[in-house]
Amino acid sequence: MKSYVLSTASAIAVCAAGVASADGHAEAEVLHYWTSGGEAKSVAVLQEEFAANGGTWTDMPVAGGGGDAAGTALRARVLSGNAPTAAQIKGPAIQEWYAEGVLADISSVAEANDWANLLPASIAAHMQCEGTWCAAPVNVHRVDWIWANTEILAANGIEMPTTWDEFNAAAESLQAAGIIPLAHGGQAWQDATVFETVVLGLGGAEFYQAALVNLETEALTSDTMIAAFDQMRTMRGYVDPNFSGRDWNLATAMVMNGEAAFQIMGDWAKGEFLAAGKAPGVDFSCASTPGDGYLYNVDSFAMFSVDGDGKAAGQELLAELIMGPNFQEVFNMNKGSIPARTDVDLSGFDECAQLSAADMASTNDGGTLMPSYAHGMALFGAQSGAITDVVTAHFNSDMSSADAVQMLADAVAEGHRLVF
């Protein structure tokens, strides 16, 4: 893969040559939270392309918390008057930073390269701030995936589940055979990831929209939401006793190494399998979690207002490269995601990615393409945090589902008050 990146560097340099102008050497200090094996390999693609175009890249990786630690580091930098050139942020957080008056306008690059016609409308909307372009999308991750150890399933006569009842039956069978059914890390964002897939699967896209995007009280306190918490309680019994605090990629490694059968995680998990030389359909299996719909999570970089011609040139170069067709292809092959651009040839992508792209197109047409609340695409931070606090409290206690939905409604009301 790396040899392919380097072999195309000269072509990329020709395309982007107009961006790094004679005014100064393009430079960029980039804050991100891609630190696991598959993620680090992916961001290296962007570093190599930036260098191939004569730029100087200063890497600022911040691990932990599904991006929470990076968000804290970013806020500290901005408040101290020392913002990075670019930072990995997404969803409503982009608009929050724009409202603080600290984002740069990259519309010149977006308009020159026709981003509006290359991106799905819902994704383009996340990248725009009051009519200007303020962020560049890297990819589209599907969140609602089940990953499985193919050998374990075959040895135990288990098919990939298509309903939650089937999942539970498979888990019970595996547990009886002495196998950990579900690899999970006891971190709040991982709990939230599982929860939103359960809500989508049991309630459908219309219910998901009402409950976890529109935050409608009737949906939040409904029997369907009680059923979602019931399913979470059931699944708590399928994880091993040592799950607390485990990083997501270590949970992926449990499936990879045959210590557990399933993991519910976005398709960045696939990047870990691929980085370890595993093949889909051979070493691991992929399927959407039970139910209809598609939960998306878009990685993106926002550019911050900084001084200096070199940094401005670096921002333009970064934006150009991020949305370039070569980077969108090579990066996403490594990362496990699919390109944000809709015109990239997917013939070289694996079967899981092709399934993701086909499902994204069909759910977009059918109105069931939904933003992930757990991964910052649907709600402001205070709102999503309020939901996740309840989900985690329930998952790690004997709280009843009825109490959980009431606590959920109360927490959402308080989160709404804090935001508005």
Q: What is the largest CA-CA distance in the chain?
A: 68
Contact 358, 176 (CB under 8 A): no
Q: Given this model, what pLDDT does residue 379 score? A: 94
Please give the single-letter amino acid code of residue 236. Answer: R
Exposed (0-12), middle (13-18) or buried (19+): which is 26, by Cβ within 10 Å? buried
Query: Whole-angstrom Cα distance, residue 41 to residue 43?
Result: 6
Identify the pLDDT of residue 16.
Answer: 41
Strand, helix or coil for residue 278: coil
**Strands annotated E in 210-346:** 260-264, 284-288, 294-297, 300-303, 338-339
pTM: 0.85
Q: Are 343 and 326 in contact (CB under 8 A)?
A: no
The residue assigned the tokens 């039970």 is 290
pLDDT per residue rounded down to tens, the chain (420 residues): 222 233 333 333 334 433 444 446 899 999 999 888 778 888 898 999 999 999 999 999 998 766 889 999 999 999 999 999 999 999 999 999 999 999 999 999 999 999 999 998 889 999 999 999 999 999 999 999 999 999 999 999 999 999 999 999 999 999 999 999 999 999 999 999 999 999 999 999 999 999 999 999 999 999 999 999 999 999 999 999 999 999 999 999 999 999 999 999 999 999 899 989 999 999 999 999 999 999 999 999 999 999 999 999 999 999 999 999 999 998 898 888 999 998 999 999 999 999 999 999 899 889 999 999 999 999 998 999 999 999 999 999 999 999 999 999 999 998 766 565
**Torsion sign, CA atoms 203, 209, 215, 218:** negative
Strand boundaries in 241-282, DSSP class E: 260-264
Q: Is 344 left (phi over 0), alpha (psi -120 to 50) or beta?
A: beta
The answer to whether residues 45 and 354 touch, using CB atoms and an 8 Å cutoff, is no
Q: Which residues pair with 180 in a beta bridge?
A: 260
Can you list the domains of the chain with their CATH numbers? 2-142+297-354 (3.40.190.10), 145-296+355-419 (3.40.190.10)
Which residue in the block uniquely carries the two structure tokens 């998952």? 395
219 token code pair: 């949906």
CB-neighbour burial class of residue 318 (10 A; exposed 0-12, middle 13-18, buried 19+): buried
How many whole angstroms separate alpha carbon 81 and alpha carbon 409?
Answer: 38
User: Helices (H), strands (E): how many in the chain?
Assistant: 20, 15
Residues 6+ apart with CB under 8 A from 359: 142, 288, 294
CB-based contact 139:295 (threshold 8 Å): no
Note whether 391 and 192 are within 8 A (CB).
Answer: yes
